[in-house]
Structure 1
Amino acid sequence: MTVNDDVLTNWNSREEIAESMIPIIGRLHREKDVTVLLYSRSLVNKSVVSILKTHRFARQIAGGELSVTETLPFLRALTSLDLGPSQIDLGMLAATYKNDTRGLTVEEFTAEAVAGAVGPDKLERREPRDVVLYGFGRIGRLLARLLVEKAGSGNGLRLRAVVVRKGKGDDLVKRASLLRRDSIHGQFNGTITVDEATNTIIANGTAIRVIYSDDPTTVDYTEYGINDAILVDNTGIWRDREGLSKHLRPGIAKVVLTAPGKGDVPNIVHGVNHDTIKPDEQIISCASCTTNAIVPPLKAMADEYGVLRGHVETVHSYTNDQNLLDNYHSSDRRGRAAALNMVITETGAASAVAKALPDLKAKISGSSIRVPVPDVSIAILNLQLARETTREEVLDHLREVSLTSPLRRQIDFTNAPDAVSNDFIGSRHASIVDAGALKVDGDNAILYLWYDNEFGYSCQVVRVVQHVSGVEYPTYPAPAA
């Protein structure tokens, strides 16, 4: 047998193993409301090749490739347990088992590691919480995709309606088509049909009522069977408490804004300060995509090294608020053609840090340059630390944070030598540390943080919605404090 034959045989064997994992992952998701992860990446509804690629990606953050032969025994062990709703990370199970010296079997170790998801203390499955999307643009449609994807188990969150202004012509058909096809994020993963008689878009079995309205104060959501819902405002038209309170109509219990809030509206970055949301708070903001990108790594650096001051420069993809060609715009420079120019503009991310990290006394300044790419941005975070360190120490710290800390869903890590912005389209993390670009000189550290300012941010929004709805399920093994 030649070397080529050996390689192909090995690949075919791993394909077969990954194929056997798919129905197990699917049953756990549908029947138990358990999401199987691999280093914070969901394996639900993934293909054979996607499962293998996710295992191979582990080498970038854990130092070595993780094989499906290592994770399959843990997946099988999960099937023998009476699990409650949860998220279970096979990568973390395999890694911690390797370091365990007690001689436990895989089954014994797995039962111990996920003990909080079984027995009398486990969460019980509950009725899904209604969600309404007010606005159906870039973020609104990505949120719809994520909510439909998470509806597979029949629990958690349930997208009931979207509210939009009535357009001319085939409005419903065109909105369904925009949900089905996306020039950046690709085809919708599933099927979409339209019921024009009831103004409904049906996506993978989820019936989404399209409500036409120009004024939030005119809608009674109970007329559509919607109750105690969380409304996500994607328009950014209203950003203070007075304006957002217009959404608190019959059927709506809470409002979540996908833009920086003004005044006393809490600005929440999931993973950092979501636990400060008061149970009776009806209006919250998810801040901006850039705030979500910089605050988690800033917290990670501040906790370990202390931060005296910093500056963030965002090189940001253009957005719909800019002009396609030169034309009048109320803001300086944004009237110039977005796809042809680098455009210096402002960012509120630096000032928003104080709301998300009130204990951080360091002054953080910021500015932004819009550039001619449609998605994925990079934040350059220049920090003066409270003590000197080395590049190797910072890399080890951030790599460990991305793997085992409570911020592991927010911070990703890559050491790919030729990484570019397109590589991070579809990332579900708030930001990705570029190891190759990191610079450290004594007490000065410069972090380069990629982020999908559309999809990664939308994932953060969904996490906040899950938290305030009470369906944010615990992750096992529990991350290190």
Structure 2
Amino acid sequence: MTVNDDSFTNWMHREEIAESMIPIIGKLHREQDVNVLLHSRSLVNKSVVSILKTHRFARQIAGEELSVTDTMPFLKALTTLDLGPSQIDMGMLAATYRADGHGLSIEEFTAEAVAGATGDNKIERRESRDVVLYGFGRIGRLIARLLIEKAGSGNGLRLRAIVVRKGSGQDIVKRASLLRRDSIHGQFQGTITVDEANSKIIANGNEIRMIYSDDPTTVDYTAYGIKDAILIDNTGRWRDREGLSKHLQPGIAKVVLTAPGKGDVPNIVHGVNHDTVKPDERILSCASCTTNAIVPPLKAMADEYGVLRGHVETVHSYTNDQNLLDNYHGSDRRGRSAALNMVITETGAASAVAKALPELKAPITGSSIRVPVPDVSIAILSLRLERETTREEVLDYLRNVSLASPLKRQIDFISAPDAVSSDFIGSRHASIVDAGATKVDGDNAILYLWYDNEFGYSCQVIRVVQHVSGVEYPTYPAPAV
């Protein structure tokens, strides 16, 4: 047998194992509300090849590929346990066991590592929490996709309605088509049908009511059977407490804004300050995509090295706020063609750091350039540190943060030497550290942070909504603090 034959035989063997994982992962998700992860990446509803690629990606983070032959025993061990709702990271289980298994068998080690989610310790499955989307643009449609994707277990969050202004002719059909097909993020994973007579979109069995309104104060959501819902405002039309309070109509319990909040509206970056949300807070903001991209790595660097001052320069993809061709615009420069120009503009991300990370006293400045790409941006974070360090130390530290810290769902890490922006379309992390571009000289560090300003940000919004809804389940093994 040739070397090539050996490689192909090995591939087919791993394919067979990955294929046998799918029904186990699906059953755990549907019946016990357990989300199986691999280094923070969900394996639920993934194909054979996706499962294998996710295992291989561990090589870029941990330095060596993780094989399905390594993780399958842990997955089998999970099926023997009385698990409650939780997220279980098989990558972390395998890595921790390899580092020090305490002489235990895989079954014994797994039972000990996830003990907080078993038996008397497990939390009860909660009823679904109703969610309403106000607005159905770029972020609104991606959030809809995520909510539908996460509805598989029948628990957690349930998208009940979308509120929009009435368009002309076949409005609901056109909106359903935009949900079904996306030029950047591809086809919707599942089936979508339209019930025009009852103003409903049915996506993967989820009945979603389309409500037409120009004024949030005129909608009684209880008339649609909606109660105690969280409303996600994707329009950005109102950003202060007074304006957002218009949404607090019958059936709505809380309002979450997908733009920076003004005044006393809390700006929340999941992973950094989501635990500061007061239980009785009814209005909050998820800040901006750029704030979500820079605050987690900024916190990580401040915790380890201290930060005296910083500057962030964002090279940002264009958005619907700009013009395709030159035309009038209320803001400077944004009237010029987005598809033909690099456009210098302002960013509020630097000033928003103070709201999300008030313990950081270092001054942070910022500016931005919009460039002719439709999605994925990069933030260049230049920091003056409190102590000198080396590039190798910083990279090792950030790699470990992405693997085993409370920020591992926010910060990803890549060492591929030829990575470019389109590689990060669909990333679920708030930001991705580019190891190859990182520069460190004594007490100066420059981090290059990629981020999918559409999808990665939408994932952060969902995490905040899960948290304030009480359906954000704990992760095991628990990340290192």
Amino acid at match of 2:445: A
Q: What is the alpha-carbon distance in structure 1 between the residues aligned to residue 395 and residue 5 of structure 2? A: 38
- The alignment's TM-score, normalised by the length of structure 2, stands at 1.00
Q: Does 1:232 align with 2:228?
A: no
Instruction: Give yes or no for contact 2:101–2:109 (8 Å, CA) kept in 1.
Output: no
Matches within 5 A, 1:139-288: 139-288=139-288
Can you list the C-alpha shifts for 1:391-444, whole angstroms capped at 9, x where unaligned?
000000000000000000000000000000000000000000000000000000
Tell me which residue corresponds to 2:322: 322
**Corresponding letter in the other structure for 2:323:** N
Q: Identify the residue that residue 333 of structure 1 maps to in structure 2.
A: 333
Per-residue deviation, 1:461: 0.1
Partner of 1:311, secondary structure, is strand
Q: Distance in 2 between matches of 1:270 and 1:103?
A: 37
Are the equivalent residues in 1 in contact too, given 2:257–2:284 (CA < 8 A)? yes
Q: What letter matches 1:394 in structure 2?
A: V
Give distance in 1, aligned partners of 2:101 and 2:226: 53
**Shift, 1:4, TM fit:** 1.2
Matched letter for residue 28 of structure 1: L
Deviations 1:227-253 (A, max 9, x none): 000000000000000000000000000
| Partner of residue 383, structure 1 | 383
Which residues in structure 2 correspond to 1:42-57 (within 5 Å)?
42-57=42-57
Secondary structure at 1:36 match in 2: strand
2-side partners of 1:361 and 1:7: how far apart?
54
Aligned to 2:474: 474
Specify the SS of the correspondent of 2:125: coil
In structure 1, C-alpha distance between the alignment counterparts of 2:124 and 2:477, rounded to whole Å: 19
SS at match of 2:136: coil
Cα deviation, 1:103-157, whole Å, max 9, x if unaligned, reads 1011000000000000112111111000000000000000000000000000000
Counterparts of 1:33 and 1:60, CA distance in 2: 30
Mapped partners of 1:393, 1:85: distance in 2: 37
- Correspondence for 2:310: 310
Where in structure 1 are there 5+ consecutive unaligned residues? Answer: none
Instruction: Give the letter aligned to residue 416 of structure 1.
Output: A
After superposition, the C-alpha distances for 1:214-233 in whole angstroms (9 at most, x for unaligned) are 00000000000000000000
Letter paired with 1:277: V
**2:293 maps to what in 1?**
293
Return the letter of the residue paired with 1:297: P
Q: Partner amino acid for 1:331?
A: S
C-alpha separation between the residues in 2 aligned to 1:101 and 1:162?
Answer: 49
Q: What amino acid is aligned across from residue 144 of structure 1 in structure 2?
A: A
2:74 and 2:221 map into 1 onto residues whose CA distance is 44
SS at match of 1:261: coil
**Whole-angstrom distance in 2 between the partners of 1:242 and 1:434:** 41
Deviation track 1:18-76 (CA, whole Å, cap 9, x = no partner) reads 00000000000000000000000000000000000000000000000000000000000
- Give the aligned residue type for 2:20: S
SS at match of 1:178: helix
Does residue 447 in structure 1 map to residue 437 in structure 2?
A: no
Shift in Å, 1:101: 4.5
CA distance in 1 between partners of 2:5 and 2:321 (Å): 54
1:71 counterpart residue number: 71
Q: Aligned residue for 2:30? A: 30
Structure 1 runs of 4+ with >6 Å offset: none
Amino acid at match of 2:224: Y
Matches of 1:341 and 1:126 in 2, distance apart?
A: 49
Match for 1:469: what amino acid? S
Aligned-pair distance for 1:373? 0.1
Q: Comparing 63-72 with 95-104, which one deviates more in the overlay?
A: 95-104
Deviation at residue 191 of structure 1 after TM alignment? 0.3
Deviation at 1:102, TM superposition (A): 2.0
The code of the aligned residue for 1:113 comes to A
Identity in percent: 87
Quick one: distance in 2 between partners of 1:251 and 1:385? 48
Residue identity opposite 1:50 in structure 2 = S
SS in structure 2 at match of 1:388: strand
Which residue of structure 1 aligns with residue 138 of structure 2?
Answer: 138
2:30 and 2:128 map into 1 onto residues whose CA distance is: 14
Residues paired across the two proteins, number: 481
- What is the distance in 2 between the residues matched to 1:405 and 1:164? 39
What is the SS of the residue equivalent to 1:250?
Answer: coil
Q: Which residue of structure 2 aligns with residue 108 of structure 1? A: 108
Matched residue type, 2:294: I
- Between the aligned partners of 1:384 and 1:293, the Cα distance in structure 2 is 19
Q: Give the residue type in structure 2 aligned to 1:226.
A: I
1:361-376 equivalence runs, <5 A: 361-376=361-376
- CA distance in 2 between counterparts of 1:126 and 1:307 reads 41
Which string of whole-angstrom CA distances, capped at 9 and with x for unpartnered residues, describes residues 179-208 of structure 1?
Answer: 000000000000000001110000001111
Distance in 2 (alpha carbons) for counterparts of 1:292 and 1:126: 28
Instruction: Indicate the residue corresponding to 2:14 in structure 1.
Output: 14
For 1:110 and 1:340, locate their aligned partners in 2 and report how far apart those are by CA, in whole Å. 55
Which amino acid is the alignment partner of residue 455 of structure 2?
Answer: F
SS of corresponding position for 1:197:
helix
Cα RMSD, aligned residues only: 0.4
Distance in 2 (CA, whole Å) between partners of 1:463 and 1:80 is 29
Are 1:99 and 2:95 counterparts?
A: no
Distance 2:42 2:136 in 1: 25
**Counterparts of 2:473 and 2:453 in 1: how far apart (Å)?**
25
* Contact 2:333-2:343 at 8 Å conserved across structures: yes
Q: Which amino acid aligns with 1:318?
A: Y
Q: 1 CA distance for matches of 2:72 and 2:396? A: 28
2:421: which partner in 1?
A: 421
- Show CA shifts across 1:70-91 (max 9, x none): 0000000000001000000000
- In 1, Cα distance between the equivalents of 2:218 and 2:95? 54
Distance 2:426 2:381 in 1: 22
1:257 and 1:305 map into 2 onto residues whose CA distance is 33
SS in structure 2 of the partner of residue 472 of structure 1? coil
Please tell me the residue identity of whatever aligns with 1:418.
D
Q: Report the secondary structure of 1:182's partner residue.
A: coil
CA distance in 2, matches of 1:96, 1:423: 29
CA distance in 1, matches of 2:182, 2:387: 46
Matched, 1:460 2:460: yes
